[in-house]
Amino acid sequence: MNDFDAAKFKKKLKKQIKKRAKGRSIQVKTGGGFYFLGFVGSAIYYVSTATDFWAGVVGILKAIIWPAFWVYAALKGLNA
């Protein structure tokens, strides 16, 4: 009969993982460039439509969180 040794299996598995992962790095792709272009575009829009200084400041703040407006509008459209 074959006895299963969990500790031995775990040790062998860790060794295999280390061997295969050696020299590899994990790359995470983000939408940083897309977000930056969206920020610049929305900042230009909000500041250009501002009627006074504080409306421009609020426009900059809106430009920082513009994806939240986008997601809200998308979800609102799905609910209709």
Q: How much is the pLDDT for 24?
A: 66
With vertex at residue 62, the alpha carbon angle to CA 77 and CA 48, rounded to the nearest 5 degrees, is: 105
- Give the torsion sign (CA, 48, 50, 52, 55): negative
Q: How much is the pLDDT for 1?
A: 45
Q: Over the chain, what is the mean pLDDT?
A: 82
Q: How much is the pLDDT for 7?
A: 81
- Per-range mean pLDDT, top range of 4-8, 17-21, 36-40, 56-60: 56-60
With a threshold of 0.85, does the pTM exceed it?
no
Q: Which residue has the higher pLDDT, 2 or 47?
A: 47
